[in-house]
């Protein structure tokens, strides 16, 4: 009887292991960056970044379609190295951060590609949600500083006008913006 119980426990443990093959990572704010650039007068680029970002991702290496990615950016944390411009960007002519405090991405479909993952998901900015597909390059896990770490990089091109930004403010700063995400995740 005791052998049967041990065998049952062993099978149950193995089954649980196969069900829960994904690794959960927390967003590593210190070693990550979400930045952006937008055209200035069609002659140069204005660069900025968001300093307050949270997220998590779950990687299922056996079945990558079960992986998930989530990112939440505090729009209020916009930083273009110019305090006056940052205040302007927080106002309703641009991000309207009191009304739309976060910029969010949540994956809906993941598939493995060479060097990373192709992730489709819902991108919500300025109160508008649009489906986007990004190529996350990376995903190799290493162990460093007492934690298991993984990193990804991607770029996302979008048009502000698609996200209900005030069209009257599209001029000096162009419609198209490029969001550059370099993020690291960590787990115990």
Which residues here bind other proteins, judged by CB under 8 A?
82-85, 87-88, 91-93, 96-99, 101, 127, 164, 166, 168-169, 171
CB 136 within 8 A of CB 154: yes
- Measured from the CB atom, the residue of 92 and 138 that comes closer to other proteins is 92
- Measured from the CB atom, the residue of 87 and 115 that comes closer to other proteins is 87
Q: CB of 171: closest distance to other proteins in angstroms?
A: 7
What's the full length of the chain, in residues? 188
What b/e sequence results for 130-162 when a residue is b if at least 16 CB atoms lie within 10 Å of its CB, and e otherwise?
Answer: eeeebebbbbeeeeeeeeebbbbebebebebee
Q: CB of 169: closest distance to other proteins in angstroms?
A: 6
Q: CB of 32: closest distance to other proteins in angstroms?
A: 24
- Measured from the CB atom, the residue of 47 and 88 that comes closer to other proteins is 88
- Measured from the CB atom, the residue of 4 and 84 that comes closer to other proteins is 84
168 to 24, 43, 164, 183: CA distances (angstroms): 43, 20, 11, 33
Q: CB of 46: closest distance to other proteins in angstroms?
A: 11
């Amino acid at each position: 009887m005791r052998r049967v119980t041990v065998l049952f426990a062993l099978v149950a443990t193995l089954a649980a292991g196969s069900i829960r093959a994904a690794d959960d990572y927390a967003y590593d704010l210190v070693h990550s960056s979400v930045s952006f650039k937008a055209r200035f007068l069609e002659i140069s680029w204005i660069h900025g970044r968001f300093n307050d970002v949270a997220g998590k991702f779950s990687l299922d290496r056996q079945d990558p379609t079960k992986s998930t990615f989530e990112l939440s950016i505090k729009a209020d944390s916009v930083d273009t190295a110019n305090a006056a411009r940052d205040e302007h960007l927080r106002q309703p002519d641009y991000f309207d951060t009191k009304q739309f405090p976060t910029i969010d991405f949540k994956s809906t479909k993941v598939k493995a590609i060479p060097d990373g993952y192709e992730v489709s998901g819902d991108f919500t900015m300025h109160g508008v949600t649009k489906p986007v597909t990004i190529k996350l390059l990376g995903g190799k896990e290493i162990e460093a500083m007492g934690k298991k770490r993984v990193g990804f990089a991607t770029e996302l091109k979008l048009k502000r006008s698609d996200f209900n930004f005030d069209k009257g403010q599209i001029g000096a700063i162009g419609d198209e913006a490029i969001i550059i995400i370099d993020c690291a995740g960590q787990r115990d």
